[in-house]
A and B are shown apart, each in its own frame.
Chain A
Amino acid sequence: MQNKVESNSQLQERAGYFPVSGAHLYTVLHEVIDPVARVLLVGPFASERHNSYLPWVRWARDLAGKNIEVLRYDYRGIGESTGAFEQMTFEDWSQDVRLLSNWFQSRAPHVPLVLHGLGLGAVLAGRAFDEGVGEGLLLWSPPANANQALRATLMRWVGLEQIFKFGDDRRSASDYIRELEQGSPLEVDGYLWSVKLWHDSFHFTLPAALANEEVAAQAYKKRPVRIVKLTRDAAPLTKGGIVGFDDLKDFSWLFSPNREWIVEVASQSSKEIAHA
Chain B
Amino acid sequence: MHEAIGKRELIVLDGLGECLRGTYHPVADSSSELPASRGGRDRLGVLFVNSLSLPRAASGDSAVHWADSIAELGYPAFRIDLPGLGDSAGEASTDLLDLVNAGAFASVASVAVRQLVDRFGLTGMVIFGHCAGSVSALYASVASPECKGLILLDTYFHLPQASRPRVRQELSDWARRSRIGRFLSNGYDRARNLRLRLRGRALPGNANTQLLACWKQVATAGLPILLLQAPGIKAQGSKPRVGEFDYIDHVMKLAGRKNRVSVEFVESADHSFANREGRLAVQSHIAAWLVSHFPLTDFSLSAKGTASFHANEGQSGSRKSQMAPADGCCALEGR
Choose from A1, A29, A79 the contact partner of B12 (Cβ within 8 Å): A1
User: Does A151 lie at the interface of the complex (its beta carbon under 8 Å from any beta carbon of B)?
Assistant: no
- Give chain B's interface secondary structure class: mixed
Inter-chain contact A27/B1, CB cutoff 8 Å: yes
Task: Using known A-B contacts A3-B12, A190-B62, determine if residue A15 contacts B331 with beta carbons closer than 8 Å.
Answer: no
Task: Using known A-B contacts A82-B8, A160-B335, A166-B176, determine if residue A247 contacts B87 with beta carbons closer than 8 Å.
Answer: no
Q: Which chain B residue shows the least CB distance to A167?
A: B182
Q: Provide the B95-110 mask, 1 if CB < 8 A to any CB of A, else 0.
A: 0110000000000000
Q: Provide the B260-289 mask, 1 if CB < 8 A to any CB of A, else 0.
A: 000000000011101110010000000000
How close is A45's CB to chain B, nearest CB, in angstroms?
13
Inter-chain contact B55/A50, CB cutoff 8 Å: yes
Instruction: Give the chain A neighbours of B170 by CB distance below 8 A.
Output: none
Inter-chain contact A15/B59, CB cutoff 8 Å: no
Find the residue from A28, A85, A245 having the highest chain B CB count within 10 A.
Answer: A245
Inter-chain contact A18/B274, CB cutoff 8 Å: no
Inter-chain contact B335/A244, CB cutoff 8 Å: yes
Interface residues of B in 299-335 (CB under 8 A from A): 331-335
Interface residues of B in 53-97 (CB under 8 A from A): 53-62, 64, 85-87, 89, 92-94, 96-97
Inter-chain contact B234/A4, CB cutoff 8 Å: no
Choose from B8, B12, B13, B59 the contact partner of A47 (Cβ within 8 Å): B59
Interface residues of B in 1-15 (CB under 8 A from A): 1-5, 8, 10-14
Instruction: Give the chain A neighbours of B18 by CB distance below 8 A.
Output: 4
Inter-chain contact A245/B94, CB cutoff 8 Å: yes
CA distance A24 to B119 in the complex (A): 26
Instruction: Give the chain A neighbours of B210 by CB distance below 8 A.
Output: none
User: Does B236 lie at the interface of the complex (its beta carbon under 8 Å from any beta carbon of A)?
Assistant: no
CA distance A187 to B270 in the complex (A): 13
- Give chain A's interface secondary structure class: mixed
How close is A74's CB to chain B, nearest CB, in angstroms?
8
How close is B61's CB to chain A, nearest CB, in angstroms?
6
Inter-chain contact A170/B1, CB cutoff 8 Å: no
Instruction: Give the chain B neighbours of A242 by CB distance below 8 A.
Output: 162-163, 335
Inter-chain contact A16/B14, CB cutoff 8 Å: no
How close is A186's CB to chain B, nearest CB, in angstroms?
11
Instruction: Give the chain B neighbours of A16 by CB distance below 8 A.
Output: 1-3, 10
Q: Which chain B residue shows the least CB distance to A61?
A: B89
Q: Provide the B173-212 mask, 1 if CB < 8 A to any CB of A, else 0.
A: 1001111001000000000000000000000000000000
How close is B4's CB to chain A, nearest CB, in angstroms?
8
User: Does A54 lie at the interface of the complex (its beta carbon under 8 Å from any beta carbon of B)?
Assistant: yes
Inter-chain contact B272/A190, CB cutoff 8 Å: yes
CA distance A118 to B189 in the complex (A): 43
Q: Provide the A1-23 mask, 1 if CB < 8 A to any CB of B, else 0.
A: 11110100000011111110000
Q: Which chain A residue shows the least CB distance to B234?
A: A166
Task: Using known A-B contacts A163-B334, A243-B335, determine if residue A187 contacts B276 with beta carbons closer than 8 Å.
Answer: yes
User: Does A108 lie at the interface of the complex (its beta carbon under 8 Å from any beta carbon of B)?
Assistant: no
Instruction: Give the chain B neighbours of A202 by CB distance below 8 A.
Output: none
Task: Using known A-B contacts A80-B57, A244-B97, determine if residue A54 contacts B333 with beta carbons closer than 8 Å.
Answer: no
Choose from A15, A189, A249 the contact partner of B21 (Cβ within 8 Å): A15
Inter-chain contact B54/A192, CB cutoff 8 Å: no
Choose from B89, B115, B163, B270 the contact partner of A245 (Cβ within 8 Å): B163
Instruction: Give the chain A neighbours of B274 by CB distance below 8 A.
Output: 189-190
Inter-chain contact B233/A164, CB cutoff 8 Å: yes
Inter-chain contact B1/A80, CB cutoff 8 Å: no
Choose from A3, A29, A54, A192 the contact partner of B19 (Cβ within 8 Å): A3
How close is B140's CB to chain A, nearest CB, in angstroms?
19
User: Does B149 lie at the interface of the complex (its beta carbon under 8 Å from any beta carbon of A)?
Assistant: no
Task: Using known A-B contacts A170-B177, A243-B53, A249-B94, determine if residue A190 contacts B61 with beta carbons closer than 8 Å.
Answer: yes
Instruction: Give the chain A neighbours of B87 by CB distance below 8 A.
Output: 13, 15, 28, 57
Q: Which chain B residue shows the least CB distance to A27?
A: B1
How close is B50's CB to chain A, nearest CB, in angstroms?
10
Choose from B1, B12, B270 the contact partner of A164 (Cβ within 8 Å): B270
How close is A97's CB to chain B, nearest CB, in angstroms?
17
CA distance A160 to B59 in the complex (A): 13
Choose from B92, B97, B333 the contact partner of A163 (Cβ within 8 Å): B333
How close is B201's CB to chain A, nearest CB, in angstroms?
29
Inter-chain contact A190/B334, CB cutoff 8 Å: no
User: Does A42 lie at the interface of the complex (its beta carbon under 8 Å from any beta carbon of B)?
Assistant: no
Inter-chain contact B60/A190, CB cutoff 8 Å: yes
CA distance A235 to B116 in the complex (A): 36
Choose from B2, B55, B93, B333 the contact partner of A53 (Cβ within 8 Å): B55
User: Does B52 lie at the interface of the complex (its beta carbon under 8 Å from any beta carbon of A)?
Assistant: yes
Task: Using known A-B contacts A164-B270, A167-B182, A170-B176, determine if residue A247 contacts B60 with beta carbons closer than 8 Å.
Answer: no
Q: Provide the A26-70 mask, 1 if CB < 8 A to any CB of B, else 0.
A: 011100000000000000000101100110010000000000000
What are 10 A-B residue pairs whose CB atoms fall within 8 Å in the complex? Answer: A15-B10, A16-B2, A18-B1, A29-B1, A54-B92, A79-B57, A190-B275, A243-B52, A244-B53, A248-B53
| 5 further A-B pairs in the complex, CB-CB below 8 A; given A16-B1, A242-B163, A248-B93 | A50-B54, A190-B275, A190-B279, A242-B162, A244-B132
Chain A residues packing against B (C-beta within 8 Å): 1-4, 6, 13-19, 24, 27-29, 47, 49-50, 53-54, 57, 78-80, 82, 85, 160-167, 170, 187, 189-192, 242-245, 247-249
Q: Enumerate the 4 nearest inter-chain pairs by beta-carbon distance, A residue then B residue, closest first.
A: A190-B60, A16-B1, A190-B274, A244-B52
